């Protein structure tokens, strides 16, 4: 496994691989890796000849009240895990190489970036789309892998790839969960013991909602209200949003029919957790 820091060198490495007809699978991450990330790496290994994993805590996707410097980091452990999984390259660009002095250009996710998580994190998806586009331009992967845990993110990336004629296939990998159902996240490291225990209600509430819909509840407002009641029984939570939306367009729906997305974000203490389920 090789570590590459310079974008120019990474481009040259990928160009050389492609000229030998090797396919490139790409997994963008912010590090502090867990089983969720490693599942994406395994999927990339199954589909492609070579796997590039980037680790970059992207400052432009953090809001003014969020501190990218406080994001959990554990580079040594990340490298050990990726080596064990058989990743071929880790791309570790510096902040200054990605956003040099005078950097100006951003990609807007338009209304897709303003709803759901974009409601409380207004420039988040602008930062995500921009960094992913930059990484795609450097690496030029054949396939890029994203987690279903960040459902809105993969929807925005899919739309960007389509709208900007990028010749990259996107594969979305199902959410990897802890034994009690909590979606794995680098942010779970922020939770106290008590908060971690309470957090299991999040996935239980989604399962409960799935059950309601299976029993022919079709009113989104009824389902949302029951999820809210269940989560709020755990006194530590503050709900950011709970939404039921069309799986493809992320548009609001009046009646639940066919495949539908239920997604939420909730604060437990200072930690913001997200999760979703497709019903």
CB contact set of 39 (below 8 Å; sequence gap of 6+):
147, 173, 176
Q: Which two tokens stand for residue 82?
A: 């990726």
Nearer to ligand AMP, 186 or 260 (CB): 186
Q: Is 54 in the site for ligand AMP (CB under 6 A)?
A: no
Q: Which residue is nearest to ligand AMP (CB)?
A: 147
Angstrom distances, CA of residue 157 to CA of 10, 136, 214, 245: 21, 11, 30, 18
Task: Indicate which residues carry an active-site annotation.
Answer: 37
CB of 29 to ligand AMP, least distance (A): 4
Site for ligand AMP, residues 120 to 179, rule: CB under 6 A: 146-147, 149-150, 173, 175-176
Q: How far, in Å, CA of 83 to CA of 40, rounded?
A: 14
Q: Is 276 in the site for ligand AMP (CB under 6 A)?
A: no
Q: Is 118 in the site for ligand AMP (CB under 6 A)?
A: no
Q: What is the DSSP letter of 216?
A: T
Site for ligand AMP, residues 184 to 213, rule: CB under 6 A: 184-186
In this chain, which of 40, 41, 52, 135 binds ligand AMP, going by CB under 6 A? Answer: 40
CB of 177 to ligand AMP, least distance (A): 7
The H or E element containing residue 266 is strand 260-268
- Measure CA of the first residue to CA of the last residue in the chain; give whole Å: 39
In this chain, which of 7, 25, 36, 113 binds ligand AMP, going by CB under 6 A? Answer: 36
Residue 89, beta-bridge partner list: 2, 52
Contact set with ligand AMP (CB under 6 A): 29-30, 36-37, 39-40, 146-147, 149-150, 173, 175-176, 183-186
């Amino acid at each position: 496994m090789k570590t590459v820091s310079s974008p120019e060198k990474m481009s040259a490495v990928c160009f050389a691989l492609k000229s030998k007809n090797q396919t490139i699978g790409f997994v963008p991450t912010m590090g502090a890796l867990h089983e969720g990330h490693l599942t994406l790496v395994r999927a990339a290994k199954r589909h492609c000849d070579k796997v590039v994993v980037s680790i970059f805590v992207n400052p432009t996707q953090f809001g003014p009240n969020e501190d990218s410097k406080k994001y959990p980091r554990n580079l040594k452990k990340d490298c050990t895990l990726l080596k064990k999984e058989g990743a071929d390259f880790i791309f570790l660009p510096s902040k200054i190489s990605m956003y040099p002095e005078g950097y100006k250009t951003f990609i807007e996710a338009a209304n897709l970036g303003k709803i759901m998580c974009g409601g409380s994190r207004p420039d988040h998806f602008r930062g995500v789309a921009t960094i992913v586009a930059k990484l795609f331009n450097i690496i030029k992967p054949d396939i890029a892998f994203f987690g279903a845990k960040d459902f809105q993110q993969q929807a925005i990336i899919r739309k960007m790839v389509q709208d900007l004629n990028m010749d990259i296939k996107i594969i979305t990998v199902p959410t990897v969960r802890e034994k009690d159902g909590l979606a794995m996240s680098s942010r779970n490291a922020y939770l106290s013991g008590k908060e971690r225990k309470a957090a299991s209600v999040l996935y239980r509430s989604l399962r409960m909602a799935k059950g309601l819909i299976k029993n022919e509840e079709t009113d989104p407002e009824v389902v949302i209200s029951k999820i809210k009641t269940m989560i709020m029984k755990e006194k530590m939570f503050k709900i950011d949003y709970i939404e039921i939306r069309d799986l493809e367009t992320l548009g609001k729906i009046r009646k639940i029919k066919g495949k539908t997305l239920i997604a939420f974000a909730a604060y437990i203490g200072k930690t913001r957790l997200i999760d979703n389920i497709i019903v």
